[in-house]
Amino acid sequence: MKFYDLQSINAKYASELKQVAAEVIDSGWYILGERVRKFEEELSAYMGCRHAIAVGNGLDALRLILKGYIELGILCEGDEVIVPANTYIASVLAITDNRLVPVFVEPDEKTFNLDIDQIEQSLTSRTKAIMVVHLFGRTCWTDKLKQIAETHNLKIIEDNAQAIGAKSTICGFSDSFRTGALGHAAGISFYPTKNLGALGDAGAVTTNDGELAHMVRSLANYGSFQKYVHTSCGLNSRMSEMQAAFLLVKLKYLDEENEMRRVITSRYSELITSRDIILPQIPKSSGEHVWHQYVIRCNRRDELQHYLKERGIDTQIHYPIPPHKQACYRQYNKVHLPITEQLSEEILSIPLSSNMRKEDISNLGEILNLF
Ligand SMILES: *Cc1c(COP(=O)(O)O)cnc(C)c1O
């Protein structure tokens, strides 16, 4: 069993995708056109936030938010940003690329998400923002997080690369909100393997902050609001019309896709009974999970991965080396983050995609129970 089978995932939508691809080709307009505008409209309506800006990829979405805050004078070089230590490196690269300082905070080992109870002890006079990551598809949001941000005047930036479609309640509101509309600004990735995957690189920024949205839009287009007039040193990070056309097709099916993921993971959670394996917690309270990954834990992880491989099942590790242990972050290599480091040795992501058949799921469950 392949870990991802993008061919069969996209095969479901192939006739619609081919149709819109032909329309883009024939239109003769490939960058910043009507499809990108329409996708931005539909995305912001879906997310329940005022603005969506389509950009080149998920890393750029996060970089552009932070760069936007710097241009607006809300952040400045050397400011500290809280970030979960077990995230994908992109969250951290967005921070360091803007000459801001990442402050690694341990995750809660039950949810894999930033341990909100450990934020306050990591705050200093330079802390200006918290980057929450809805890791593996699980919403990282509590009333306490919002209170901390309000008390200390911090921006909450959501790395929403893995949790598009999940909902959470916010204290003081009766309705629930989608990830990406919870904090001050959010970055999404439409990398092909994500829950809403394009057929190439693509990303978006979502926010209710009109000033930030305006700034990000300009920064993503060479720092220009008006052609050939440059107010800041921007970059080129635009979503293409082709990717916007594909995403307009696939956005319609996102809730359905996420629901199929929920069905598969609840089946896994019933089937897998091995005492050597710790299953991911199914959320009980308000914050939803859209199951970008189904991550199990085992203290003989490498052995388990090898065992599955021999039986034809591909798995992955998200992530084997935490950012602070990477060679590119030598200055943090000596920092000790025991929970993050232990998790990186025990976690294993097993196949999970909406096209899995019932037999694949039960077969995998049986094999795991025989380990
Ligand atoms: C995928 C991902 C990103 C980056 O997205 P790209 O589109 O690959 O640049 C950022 N953060 C997290 C948590 C991700 O999973």
Closest by alpha carbon to 136, among 244, 312, 253, 282? 282
| Confidence (pLDDT) at 250 | 98
351 CA to centre of ligand 1 in angstroms: 19
- Quick check: CB of 88 below 6 Å from ligand 1? yes
- Quick check: CB of 130 below 6 Å from ligand 1? no
Protein residue whose Cα sits closest to atom 10 of ligand 1:
90
Residues 220, 235 contacting (CB under 8 angstroms): yes
Rounded Cα distance between 27 and 243, Å, is 14
- Quick check: CB of 58 below 6 Å from ligand 1? yes
Q: What is the largest CA-CA distance in the chain?
A: 65
**Which mean pLDDT values do the consecutive 10-residue runs of the chain (371 residues) have?**
91 97 98 98 97 98 98 98 98 98 97 97 98 97 96 98 93 87 98 98 98 98 94 96 98 96 95 96 82 97 98 97 98 98 98 92 96 94
Which is the closest atom of ligand 1 to the Cα of 60?
Answer: 9
Which is the closest atom of ligand 1 to the Cα of 190?
Answer: 7
* DSSP of 286-327: S--B--S-EEEE-TTHHHHHHHHHHTT---B-S-SS-GGGSG
Rounded Cα distance between 186 and 62, Å, is 7
| Confidence (pLDDT) at 286 | 67
Strands, E, within the chain: which ranges?
Answer: 51-55, 80-84, 101-105, 127-133, 155-159, 167-169, 176-178, 185-189, 203-207, 224-226, 229-230, 294-297, 347-350
- Quick check: CB of 113 below 6 Å from ligand 1? no
Cα angle 178, 181, 186 (rounded to 5 degrees) comes to 115
Which residue out of 139, 179, 191 has the highest number of ligand 1 atoms within 8 Å of its CB and is therefore the one to mutate?
191
- Quick check: CB of 329 below 6 Å from ligand 1? no
| Confidence (pLDDT) at 355 | 87
- Quick check: CB of 111 below 6 Å from ligand 1? no
Which 3 state secondary structure label does DSSP give 56?
A: coil
Q: Whole-prediction pTM value?
A: 0.97
- Quick check: CB of 112 below 6 Å from ligand 1? no
- Quick check: CB of 136 below 6 Å from ligand 1? no
- Quick check: CB of 87 below 6 Å from ligand 1? yes
| Confidence (pLDDT) at 313 | 96
Which residue out of 162, 188, 238, 291 has the highest number of ligand 1 atoms within 8 Å of its CB and is therefore the one to mutate?
162
Which 3 state secondary structure label does DSSP give 340?
A: helix
Which is the closest atom of ligand 1 to the Cα of 189?
Answer: 7
* DSSP of 113-162: SB-GGGTGGG--TTEEEEEEE-GGGB----HHHHHHHHHTT-EEEEE-SS
- Quick check: CB of 57 below 6 Å from ligand 1? yes
Cα angle 112, 113, 115 (rounded to 5 degrees) comes to 110
